[in-house]
Chain A
Amino acid sequence: MAYRLVVHPELCHGCGNCVVACPVNASKSTEVAGGKGPQEDVGLSIIVEDGVVRINQLKECKNCATCIKACPVGAIGLEEV
Chain B
Amino acid sequence: MVANEKATENKNISIKREAAEKRELCFEDEACIGCGICEQICPVDAIELGPMGAIVRGELDASKINIDESKCVLCGMCSVGCPVEAIDFTIDGKPISEIEEYPRLIRSISPEAENCVYCGACDIACPQGAIRVMRELPERAKLVTGEIEVDKDACISCGMCEDMCPADAIYLEENIPTSSNPEIATDIVIDKDKCVYCGICKRICPEDAIKVICKACPYGEYEIEEAEVKGDLVVDEDLCINCGWCQEICPKDVFEVEKPFEGELIINEDACQGCETCIDVCPCNVLSFPESSESGQIASKIQKDEKYCIYCGACQNVCATNAITVKRTGVNITPTKSKAWKKAVDSLKFSDEKAGSSSSGAAKAKSEGK
User: Interface on A for B, CB 8 Å cutoff?
Assistant: 1-4, 21-24, 26-27, 33, 58-66, 68-69, 77-78
In the complex, the answer to whether A64 meets B277 with C-beta atoms within 8 Å is yes
Q: Give me 8 A-to-B residue pairs in the complex whose CB atoms sit less than 8 angstroms apart, sorted by A's number.
A: A2-B365, A3-B362, A23-B321, A26-B275, A27-B273, A33-B273, A63-B362, A65-B57
Write out, one digit per residue, whether chain B residues 272-290 have a CB within 8 A of any chain A CB (1) or not (0). Answer: 0111110000000000000
Q: Is B114 an interface residue (CB 8 A)?
A: no
Interface contact A1-B320, CB-CB below 8 Å: no
Whether the Cβ atoms of B277 and A23 lie closer than 8 Å is yes
Identify the 10 closest CB pairs spanning chains A and B, nearest first: A63-B51, A64-B53, A65-B54, A23-B275, A23-B273, A26-B273, A65-B59, A64-B277, A1-B66, A27-B321
List, in ascending order, chain B residues with CB within 8 A of A27's CB: 271, 273, 320-321
How long is the Cα–Cα vector from A33 to B271 in the complex, in angstroms?
A: 11
Is the Cβ of B271 less than 8 Å from the Cβ of A63?
A: no
| CA distance in complex: A26, B301 (Å) | 14
Kindly provide the distance from the CB of A47 to the nearest chain B CB, expressed in whole angstroms.
16
Q: Is the CB of B277 within 8 A of A66?
A: yes
With a 10 A CB-CB cut-off, give which of A4, A21, A22, A27 has the most chain B CB atoms: A27
A65 touches B60 (CB 8 A): yes
Contacts known (A26-B273, A61-B320, A62-B318); A78 close to B366, Cβ less than 8 A: no
Q: Which of B51, B277, B319 contacts A3 (CB 8 A)?
A: B51
On whether the beta carbons of A64 and B273 are closer than 8 Å, the reply is no
The minimal Cβ–Cβ distance linking A30 to chain B, given in whole angstroms, is: 11
Given known contacts A60-B320, A64-B275, A78 and B59 CB-to-CB distance under 8 angstroms? yes
B359 to chain A, nearest CB (A): 11
Q: Which of B326-370 contact A (CB under 8 A)?
A: 360-363, 365-367, 370
Are A66 and B276 touching (Cβ within 8 A)? yes
A2 touching B57 by the CB < 8 A rule?
no
Bound Cα distance A54, B50 (Å): 23
Which of A33, A62, A78 makes the CB contact (< 8 A) with B320? A62
Q: Give the residues in chain A near B28, CB-CB below 8 Å.
A: none
Q: Mark B255-273, 1 if CB is under 8 A from A, else 0.
A: 0000000000000000101
Determine whether the beta carbon of B321 is less than 8 Å from that of A3. no
Within the complex, the shortest CB–CB distance from A50 to chain B, in Å, comes to: 26
Q: Is the CB of B60 within 8 A of A61?
A: no
In the bound complex, do residue B57 and residue A59 qualify as a contact, i.e. CB atoms below 8 Å apart?
A: no
B360 and chain A: residue at smallest CB distance: A62
Q: Which residue of B lies closest to A63 (CB)?
A: B51
B51 touches A62 (CB 8 A): yes
Report A16 CB to chain B, min CB distance, Å. Answer: 16
Residue of A nearest to B364 (CB): A2
Closest Cβ of chain B to A62, distance in Å, is 4
Contact B62 A1 (CB under 8 A): yes
Contacts of A22 in B (CB 8 A): 275, 320
Which chain B residue has the least Cβ–Cβ distance from A33?
A: B273
Report Cα–Cα, A62/B360, bound state, in Å: 8
Which residues of B have CB within 8 Å of A77? 59
Nearest-neighbor residue (CB-CB) of B363 within chain A: A62
| Cβ of B48 under 8 Å from chain A | yes
List B contacts of A33 (CB < 8 A): 273
- Contact (Cβ within 8 A) A2 B362: yes
Smallest beta-carbon distance B67→chain A, Å: 10
Asked whether, in the complex, the Cβ of A78 is within 8 Å of the Cβ of B60, the reply is yes
Residues of A within 8 A of B276 (CB): 66
Chain A residues within an 8 Å CB radius of B321: 23-24, 26-27, 60
Residues of B within 8 A of A4 (CB): 366
> Do A62 and B53 touch across chains, with their CB atoms under 8 A apart?
yes
* B370 x A59 contact (CB < 8 A): yes
A77 to B57, CA, bound (A): 12
Q: Is the CB of A65 within 8 A of B273?
A: no
Cα separation A61 to B366 with both chains bound (whole Å): 9
Contacts of B48 in A (CB 8 A): 1-2
